[in-house]
Amino acid sequence: MKSNIDRDRDRWFINFNIRVPKVICINSDDQNLGLLITKDALKIAQEQGLDLVQLSPPSKDRPPTCKIMDFSKFKYETSKKKKEADRKQRESAIKIKEVKFKPTTGNHDLEIKAKQANKFLQDNLRVKVAILFAGRAITHQEVGTKTLEQFLSYLPENSFKIDGEISWEGKELTLNLMKS
């Protein structure tokens, strides 16, 4: 079984896997050493105890660019940056909680759903309120709007503001709420 570094070594052209006669070489201090024979660049890397890593593929009019670096350290730092970027993206994503009910839902159940929605709003989450219309109930949309108004009346005043407008998504009447 291959380790992660071995798998990455297969993906990257490193040291003796670089099979072109000449490369543009950059040393570990980011100084351009110019066009070198691959064997010479590899010899310089080995003398420093580092790896020769191909950074760009060769093209018809230009040899590949290679850099002398510690490949294990490079992979570690790259994975660390990727994990940090993923974490920041997860944290910055807007979290939306959904509260669903039908137009015929009773008052007590609406109160409980309103308490749930209020709890979400207090946690700085957005709340999507969805009223599900099934079967022929869609012909009585005014019942759904009355139920939505009843639901909003159970929420504490000034604890929320409506984000957007009431809209239809298929057979759902939806409304987005956010903390005011």
Give per-residue pLDDT as tens, 77-132: 989 999 999 998 888 877 889 999 999 999 999 999 999 999 998 988 899 999 99
Tokens of 18: 């670089």
Fold of 96-178: Translation Initiation Factor IF3 (3.30.110)
Q: Is the pLDDT reported for residue 9 higher than 50?
A: no
Domain with CATH 3.30.110.10 in the chain: 96-178
- pLDDT above 90 (res 170): no
Look at residue 3 and tell me whether its pLDDT is greater than 80. no
Contacts for 117 with CB less than 8 Å, ≥ 6 apart: 97, 99, 127, 129, 155, 160, 177
What is the rounded distance in angstroms from the CA atom of residue 17 to the CA atom of residue 14?
5
Per-residue pLDDT at 115: 93
Among residues 140, 148, 155, the alpha carbon closest in space to that of 173 is found at 148
- Tens of pLDDT, residues 41-85: 899 889 999 988 988 888 888 888 899 999 999 889 989 999 999
Residue 58 has a pLDDT of 82
Give the homologous superfamily in CATH for domain 4-89: Translation initiation factor 3 (IF-3), N-terminal domain (3.10.20.80)
CATH 3.10.20.80 occupies which residues in the chain?
4-89
Model confidence at 142: pLDDT above 70:
yes
